[in-house]
C-alpha cells in the first residue's frame, strides 16, 4: 500500500513524521521537487492539508482510495467527486478549536484595549495613551456556532458579555443553556461591538460579508475573521475601512494566501496574522495525530 503525505505543516513537524513513519515505514513525503499530481499518481492513501483535491486531480490518481485530512475544513476537497470514485475521507471536525478560539479571544481583547493600534504606533515613535474599552459587558456577535464558535462562547463567559449568535442549524437548547441571543445576521451587524465569523466556506458563505453587511455595521464595530478569507468581500472591506464604516478588521485568513495587497495590509485599522490561529504546537500535533488515526482506521477496515 502506497501512503503519501502532501500537508506541508505535517511534513515540517519531526514528531508527526516520526510517528507516522513508525507505523508505516514506507510512507513518502512530498519534497516539492515534483508537481503535486506527479507525486500522488500511484498513491492509495493521501494525507493532505490545504492542497486542492478536485475532480481533475482525482482522475489522474486511479489508485487513490482514502484521503486523511490534516486540519479542519473540507472546502479544498471535492467531496462529490470523491464519493463518485469510492474514495473515503478521514476527517475530525474541531480538532484545533481551542487554538483558534484562543487567538480569536486574543484579537477581541487586543482590539478592545487598543493594544494593536497603540503598540504599532509606539514602534513608530508615537506615544498614544488611548486604552480603548473593556471587553467585559460588551455586545459580541458570533456568526457560526460550530466547534470554534462554541469554544469561544465558553471562554467569553467570564467577561459577562451579551452574546448574539447566528447559525443555519437549530441549536435552541445550547442557546438557552448559555444565555445566548439567537439573532439574524443583520441584527448582529446593527448591534454588535465586535463580530467574529466562524463559518465553513461554502457557496452560501462565499463573500457573504459584503458591502451591505459593512453598511449595516456600527461605525466603531470590529470584525474578526479566523475561518476563511473568502467569506469576506475584500474589495467591499477596503472600501468600508477607507470610508470609516467599521472600526477595524482583524484577520488570520486571506484570499488568496499568501496575501500581499498592501492597500489592506498597510491600512492603519487592519491587523492580522498569517493563518496561524489553528497552528499552535498542541493543535498541530492534534491535527496530525487525527490524520494518522484515520489512516490506521482505513488500513484496519480495508
Helices (H) and strands (E) in the chain, counts: 14, 12
Domain count, the chain: 2
For residue 302, pLDDT beyond 90:
no
Contacts of 180 (CB under 8 A, 6+ apart): 145, 153, 163, 164, 165, 174
What are the residue numbers of the active site? 228, 257, 275
DSSP symbol at 231: G
Query: Which CATH number goes with the domain that contains 172?
Result: 3.40.50.720
Which domain does 110 fall in, by range? 97-272
Residue pLDDT, tens place only, 166-183: 999 999 999 999 999 999
How far is CA 134 from each of CA 103, 121, 138, 257, rounded to the nearest angstrom?
A: 17, 20, 8, 33
Cis before 250? omega within 30 = no
CA atoms of 226 and 217, how far apart (whole Å): 19
How far is CA 35 from each of CA 2, 3, 233, rounded to the nearest angstrom?
A: 17, 17, 31
DSSP codes, 126-184: ---------STT-EEEEE--SHHHHHHHHHHGGGT-EEEEE-SS--HHHHHHTT-EE--
Residue pLDDT, tens place only, 122-139: 999 999 999 999 999 999
pLDDT, mean of residues 268-295? 97
Residues 107 and 21 in one domain: no
Q: Are strands 45-48 and 66-69 parallel, antiparallel or unpaired?
A: parallel
Residue pLDDT, tens place only, 65-107: 999 999 998 999 999 999 999 999 999 999 999 999 999 999 9
169: left (phi over 0), alpha (psi -120 to 50) or beta: beta
**pLDDT of 292:** 98
Confidence of residue 50 (pLDDT cuts 50, 70, 90): very high
Residues 255 and 116 in one domain: yes
Share the mean pLDDT of the chain: 97
Residues 65 and 124 in one domain: no
- Give the predicted TM-score (pTM) of the model: 0.94
For residue 120, pLDDT beyond 90:
yes
Residues 113 and 151 in one domain: yes
Confidence of residue 273 (pLDDT cuts 50, 70, 90): very high
CA atoms of 222 and 106, how far apart (whole Å): 13
Closest to 47 in 3D by CA, of 1, 98, 85: 1
Residues 216 and 175 in one domain: yes
Q: Which three cell numbers stand for residue 194?
A: 465586535
pLDDT, mean of residues 246-263? 97
Residues 87 and 181 in one domain: no
Residues 57 and 129 in one domain: no
Residues 156 and 295 in one domain: no
Residues 75 and 187 in one domain: no
Residues 76 and 112 in one domain: no
Residues 80 and 161 in one domain: no
Quickly count: other Cβ atoms within 10 Å of residue 83's Cβ.
11
Q: Are strands 162-166 and 139-143 parallel, antiparallel or unpaired?
A: parallel
For residue 110, pLDDT beyond 90:
yes
Half-sphere exposure of 275 (CA within 13 A, CB side): 14
Residues 54 and 161 in one domain: no
Amino acid at each position: 500500500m502506497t501512503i503519501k503525505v502532501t500537508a506541508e505543516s505535517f511534513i515540517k513537524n519531526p514528531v508527526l513524521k516520526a510517528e507516522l513513519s513508525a507505523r508505516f515505514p514506507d510512507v513518502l513525503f512530498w519534497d516539492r521537487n515534483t508537481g503535486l499530481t506527479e507525486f500522488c499518481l500511484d498513491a492509495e492513501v493521501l494525507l493532505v492539508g490545504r492542497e486542492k483535491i478536485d475532480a481533475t486531480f482525482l482522475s489522474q490518481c486511479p489508485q487513490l482510495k482514502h484521503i486523511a485530512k490534516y486540519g479542519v475544513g473540507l472546502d479544498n476537497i471535492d467531496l462529490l467527486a470523491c464519493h463518485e470514485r469510492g474514495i473515503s475521507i478521514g476527517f475530525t471536525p474541531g480538532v484545533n478549536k481551542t487554538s483558534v478560539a484562543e487567538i480569536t479571544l486574543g484579537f477581541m481583547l487586543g482590539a478592545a484595549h487598543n493594544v494593536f493600534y497603540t503598540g504599532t504606533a509606539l514602534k513608530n515613535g508615537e506615544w498614544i495613551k488611548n486604552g480603548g474599552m473593556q471587553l467585559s459587558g460588551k455586545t459580541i456577535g458570533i456568526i457560526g456556532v460550530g466547534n470554534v464558535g462554541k469554544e469561544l462562547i465558553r471562554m467569553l463567559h467570564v467577561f459577562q458579555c451579551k452574546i448574539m449568535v447566528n447559525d443555519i442549524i437549530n441549536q435552541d437548547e445550547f442557546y438557552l443553556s448559555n444565555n445566548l441571543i439567537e439573532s439574524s445576521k443583520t441584527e448582529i451587524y446593527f448591534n454588535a461591538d465586535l463580530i467574529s465569523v466562524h463559518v465553513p466556506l461554502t457557496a452560501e458563505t462565499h463573500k457573504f460579508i459584503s458591502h451591505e453587511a459593512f453598511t449595516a455595521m456600527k461605525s466603531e464595530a470590529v470584525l474578526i475573521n479566523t475561518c476563511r478569507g473568502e467569506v469576506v468581500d475584500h474589495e467591499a472591506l477596503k472600501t468600508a475601512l477607507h470610508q470609516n464604516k467599521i472600526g477595524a478588521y482583524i484577520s488570520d485568513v486571506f484570499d488568496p494566501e499568501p496575501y500581499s495587497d498592501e492597500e489592506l495590509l498597510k491600512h492603519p485599522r487592519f491587523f492580522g496574522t498569517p493563518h496561524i490561529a489553528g497552528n499552535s504546537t498542541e493543535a498541530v500535533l492534534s491535527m496530525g495525530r487525527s490524520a494518522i488515526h484515520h489512516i490506521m482506521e482505513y488500513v484496519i477496515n480495508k
